A and B are shown apart, each in its own frame.
Chain A
């Protein structure tokens, strides 16, 4: 299963990659803003995306719609510090499979990815 990580923080990109490494996913791309994410998504067509919201150039919710227009079957997990219920609901309405608020623990992230990706525990 091909994975893409989108977050403007390099620490978050590295942390997500490190926490998910034991799952054996194929990390095909990382991006630090929504526009780069759309471009890399079209090239790599990942099956699973972790997507931040507050990013420069293009925010994550705008990016989410564009990603799903390219590949509607992609499973997108929005991971954001914007933890008010309305933001999470908006992400789900736009087609995200899940919303994980920051800060998160390694266990929370791995469990959420397993659930969304349908991986065994």
Chain B
């Protein structure tokens, strides 16, 4: 994956938080994932097929997802199912939006939702795997991308 392609993902995440919440996320410096797992409490994982194969996942904690749900729905105290749904929809939107740059043959799966912290998430991701850190309302999250 090229530096320019990595920027497609950063731009999409920036646009998402800016448009949905009117509070842009603060994007960190991407790095190549090493052996240490990069997983928070709630994760949405999407497989990519077509000419580019691999996967992406977005992982965040409950506070970030609850805040985001509050902005969208205006409800307090989102339950576990809602938090999982939120991370899935966010991941789906990011993966779908990068098709503007990768093209219509960048085929995305429906999101697989993971609650809790498995030892690591490697399935579908093709190395090198890039980690894009971000902060929104002082809560951290990661977008992780591994494409052939």
Contacts and interface: CB of A to CB of B under 8 A. Distances in A.
A60 to B, nearest CB: 11
A81 B93 contact: yes
Contacts of A11: 69, 72-73, 82, 85-86, 89
A35 interface: no
Contacts of A65: none
A10 B96 CA distance: 18
Given A14-B73, A15-B72, A15-B73, A83 B110 contact: no
B43 to A, nearest CB: 16
Nearest to B20: A103
Interface stretch (B25-33, B99-107, B127-135): B99-107
A112 interface: no
Instruction: Name the interface size band of chain A.
Output: 20 to 34
Interface string A90-121: 00000000000111010000000000000000
Q: Give the residue among A14, A86, A87, A101 with the most B Cβ atoms within 10 A.
A: A14
Contacts of A80: 96
Given A11-B72, A54-B108, A84 B19 contact: no
B136 interface: no
B88 interface: yes
Interface residues of B, number: 27
A82 B96 contact: yes
- Please report whether the interface of chain A is mostly helix, strand, loop or mixed according to DSSP: loop
A103 B19 contact: yes
A54 B95 CA distance: 11
A102 B96 contact: yes
Contacts of B100: 83-84
A81 B85 contact: no
B92 interface: yes
Nearest to A8: B110
B62 interface: no
B97 interface: yes
A10 B82 contact: yes
B51 interface: no
A18 B74 contact: yes
Interface of B: 15-16, 19-20, 69, 72-74, 81-82, 85-86, 88-89, 92-97, 99-100, 103-104, 106, 108, 110
